[in-house]
């Protein structure tokens, strides 16, 4: 296992289109996180899964965004009716966490979304 992978690496779409991103975490990792990073800023938390359960969603995650982790392995993040403000790098991270002391999150390379 070479780490967290994300697909696609780049996505260019027109405003109003739907897009879906995929994240494959490190095998056996029980937690999976989605973050968004805009230019010149640090990543901001969007949502996370404990196994297949989505346990928290940020206020940044409008109702146009939906995330799934159906079998507790890979995850998808879908954005419906994209807007130019959705342009950002979407980062996925995974961790094997039993307590805060284990909280080393491994990040994927990200999917860069550009909405025209």
Partner 1 sequence: GEDVEQSLFLSVREGDSSVINCTYTDSSSTYLYWYKQEPGAGLQLLTYIFSNMDMKQDQRLTVLLNKKDKHLSLRIADTQTGDSAIYFCAESPPLDSSYKLIFGSGTRLLVRP
Question: In this structure, are strands 88-95 and 19-24 parallel, antiparallel, or unpaired?
Answer: unpaired
Residues 91-110 as x/- pattern, contact with partner 1 by CB under 8 A: x-x-x-x--xx-xxxxxxxx
Can you tell me the distance from the alpha carbon of 5 to that of 106, in angstroms, rounded to the nearest whole number? 10
Give yes or no for residue 72 binding partner 1 (CB under 8 A): no
Give yes or no for residue 60 binding partner 1 (CB under 8 A): no
**Residues 48 and 62 sit within 8 Å (Cβ to Cβ):** no
**Residue among 54, 46, 62 nearest 110 (CA):** 46
Give yes or no for residue 41 binding partner 1 (CB under 8 A): yes
Looking only at residues 13 through 32 of this chain, which bind partner 1 when binding is defined by CB under 8 A?
A: 31
Q: Given the rule CB under 8 A, which residues bind partner 1?
A: 3-4, 31, 33, 35, 40-45, 48, 55-56, 91, 93, 95, 97, 100-101, 103-110
């Amino acid at each position: 296992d070479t780490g967290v992978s994300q697909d696609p690496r780049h996505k260019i779409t027109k405003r109003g289109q739907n897009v879906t991103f995929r994240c494959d975490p490190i095998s056996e990792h029980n937690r999976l996180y989605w973050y968004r990073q805009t230019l010149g800023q640090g990543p901001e938390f969007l949502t996370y899964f404990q196994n297949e359960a989505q346990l928290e969603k940020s206020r940044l995650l409008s109702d146009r965004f939906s995330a799934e982790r159906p079998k507790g392995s890979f995850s998808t993040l879908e954005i419906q009716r994209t807007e130019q403000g959705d342009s950002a790098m979407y980062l996925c991270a995974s961790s094997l966490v039993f307590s805060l002391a284990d909280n080393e999150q491994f990040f994927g390379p990200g999917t860069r979304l550009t909405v025209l």
